[in-house]
Structure formats: structure tokens, C-alpha cells
Amino acid sequence: MADEKHKPKAVIVGGSIAGISSAHTLIKAGWEVQVLEKSPSPPTACSTGAGLGLDPLSQRLLQSWLSHPELLLQSTSPLTTEQNRAIDGESKRGRILSYDENLNFRAALWTDLHSLLYNELPPDIFLWGHLFLSLSISDDKTSVRIKAKVVETDEIVEIVGDLLVAADGCLSSIRQTFLPDFKLRYSGYCAWRGVFDYSENENSETVINVHKAYPEISKSVYFDFASGTHFLLFEIPKKKINWLWYVNQPELQLKARSMTMKVNEEILRKLHEQVDEIWVPEFAKVVRETKDPFINAIYDCDPLEQLVWDNVVLVGEAAHPTTPHCARSTNMAILDAAVLGKCLQKWGAQGLKSALIEYQSLRLPVVSAQVLHSRRAGRIKQGLTLPDCEPFDPNVATSIQNFPELQIRNIPFIDDVPQVIDLA
């Protein structure tokens, strides 16, 4: 239990899924919470990262934070199967390499999940439009002072807390404070991404044909492979189809503080030509009719050696930037928040140092293994070289027996529930 004489205060920098998940678990642990977010208001629409898959553990944790747990089921849809297929270059027909009927994920819209969590929190804990600038830890290591700029007015404000939770994403400024030489690692490929919205034209030829070509799309995630490239495809709520197409290419020159890039008409024209050459026509038509697709450069980093510095702790992508191949980013962030909250509750405000040490000891081995596994899976899927095996060639593959990384079920620690979390 928290010390009743002094209710400890945590400042969370970042109001995305990692940040608001941490707000839930810290409040439950008896902490006062303040969330700083540079965006001017809660998100209402988001194309970047619009579709995501929630694993069974995340589903149970999220439901435990909601006053009406059934809302999670109502706002998501089942992803019960995973299919890996090879696409023949000439006939464009799909050949099944693996079929897993026990995925038990749920598909969600990023904004729906964010809203679900946000609406359960007191609105006055959020400081929207506040850009993190710097931090300083007190000499006795008992408090941390954060400077932020109010984006609308340029006013500089200071906030003091007992704990700083860095949930500021893969380009984390807080992480850079402690690791000034840190650099993200480019994977060697980018992803074309888009969300095809057919809610206003459910009976179009494109919609009918894609459901014929991918008959289980309402409950299945499809991975289609061609030489040196692959894509994933699954349906998300509100009659939308989420797709990502990975292409090997040199590193993009992106604008600062961004992993994505909008495309001009010339680049879009080349995309449409390429999709017709490589993929089944039903998927190609979906790509052609998707409004405002964008390019997402794929980065990760070698596992960090620590997640905690005095009374500063990293969660989410700030702690473990990862490639998206194993549906880990959001799921790792949710479990980070759950473990952090339970450790703080276990040790109390006076045991903050012990709580953070335990959090780090529980999470580092798991997230490190998962980041490296996802990296390896991405290289296999893209036909890139690995030191211990020949490149994956979907043209000759009859199964994925020699490449178990291609199935989500083989992620290390995927069913791991830390002892500190009681789901009874």
C-alpha cells in the first residue's frame, strides 16, 4: 500500500497506449498521476498504426482495467487463425504453408482502444499540448523535475514528481537523456501501409472479390510471401481492412521525429504498378483503392541493458523499439504497464527503488528476447540473409517447418505471466 502520509506522484510523459496503460496501473497502485502529451487533444482519428492485434494476456489485463470489461469485446473483433501462404509469381495463386487455428488474438482500431482506456481515466490528469523539454533528478534521488513547453503559448512549466515514466515512444527524448549515443537500427526495408474503408460501399466488386480471395479475412490474419517481400492483411472493426506490404530498400531520408512519410502521386503510381506485378489482383485492387497510403520505415534497436535510472523508468517503445512482425509493440507496452503497477503496489512508495529493480529484472529478459525474435522473423520474411540458415524462398517452400519464427505462436514468452501479476 502507498504511504498514506504522502501519496506518491508519477509524471508520465506520453499519452499513447503505453502512457495511458501506465496511468491505469499506477492509479490502481495508489499513485497520483499526471500525463504529459504533446498532442493538443485526445486522438479522434489515426491512420498510422490503425490496426493492431491484442494477444490473450493483453485482453485479460485490459479488461481488468475497465469498469465494463465487455466493452473490449464489443469494440474489437476475433482473430482466431493465422495463415502463411506463398504466392506463385505467374498464376498469382496462394499456396498454404501453415495454418494455425489457435491464435486467439483480437483485432482493434488504435483509436478505439485508446478511447476505451482514456474514457476510464479522470480527464484532469492529462496535460495536452505539453512538449517534454528536459528532466533533472534531485541530489538525494527522491524526486524528478520535468520541464515542458505549452505548445500553444510557448510557456515553460515545471512539474515535480517522485517518479518519471518515459512512455514517449521509439524516438524517446527521455531515453536519449541517459543514452546520448543511442541510435535506432534500420531494418533494411520499409512498409507500405494503409486502411481500406469499405463501410460506405459494402457491396462493391472490390469488397466482394477480396472476401472471395481471402474467405476467412473476418477472423484470420493472412501473411502472403513472394520473393524478397511479404504483406499482411486482416479485417478490423467498422468494416475496414488493414494491410502492410514490406519492401526491401535503402533507408529513407525522413523528417525529424517521424517514422512515416506521405507519398506524392509519382511514388503512388509506382506502388500501383508494383502491386499489380507481384500480388494477387484482389489484394492489388484493395491497395489501389486505399486512400492516403503511407510509407513506414522499419527500425528497432539492440536490447537495452537497463530500463531504469534512479527514479526514471522506460516503458513501451521507449524501452524496446521493435519491428512489427510479431504483434509485440502494443502488447509489450500493456504488459510493461501491468508489471510496473504491480511492482509499485507490492513495494509501496517507500520501496520505489526495489520496485523499479524488480520491474527491470522481470521485463528485460522478456522484451530483449522478443525484440530479437521479431528482428529475425522480419529478415526471414523478407528473404534477407541470416548467419545460420539459407534465405527463405517462398517459391520452393512447401511448409515453414525450417522457419518456426514465421508463426506468431512461437514468440518467446508469449504466454508468460510474471508472478507479480495475479489474474485470478
Whether residue 353 has pLDDT greater than 70: yes
How far is 101 from 81, CA to CA, in rounded Å?
A: 4
CB–CB of 271/261 below 8 Å?
no
With CA atoms as reference, report the closest residue to 79 among 220, 231, 216. 220
The answer for residues whose C-beta is within 8 angstroms of residue 162's C-beta and 6 or more apart is 8, 9, 10, 142, 143, 144, 311, 349, 352
The answer for residues whose C-beta is within 8 angstroms of residue 74's C-beta and 6 or more apart is none
Whether residue 47 has pLDDT greater than 70: no
CB–CB of 223/264 below 8 Å?
no
Cell of 102: 489457435
- Residue 3's pLDDT band, with cuts at 50, 70 and 90, is very low
Range with lowest mean pLDDT among 32-46, 286-300, 310-324, 381-395: 32-46
Q: What is the mean pLDDT of the chain?
A: 94
CB–CB of 221/82 below 8 Å?
yes
pLDDT at position 254, please?
Answer: 73
Cα-to-chain-centroid distance, residue 318: 11
In the beta sheet, which residues pair with residue 188? none
Amino acid at 373: H
Q: What is the pLDDT of residues 119-145, one digit of tens each?
A: 999 999 999 999 999 999 999 999 999
Backbone angles phi, psi at 271, to 5 degrees: -60, -45
pLDDT at position 261, please?
Answer: 82
Residue ranges covered by each domain of the chain: 9-51+112-183+303-389+404-410, 71-109+187-300
Question: Residue 269: helix, strand or coil by DSSP?
Answer: helix
Range with lowest mean pLDDT among 46-50, 179-183, 405-409, 416-420: 46-50
- Which position has the higher pLDDT, 392 or 262? 392
Q: What is the pLDDT of residues 238-249, one digit of tens each?
A: 999 999 999 999
For the 9-51+112-183+303-389+404-410 domain, the top CATH level (class) is alpha beta
Pick the CATH number of 71-109+187-300 from 3.30.9.60, 3.40.50.1820, 3.40.50.300, 3.30.70.2080: 3.30.9.60
The predicted model scores a pTM of: 0.95
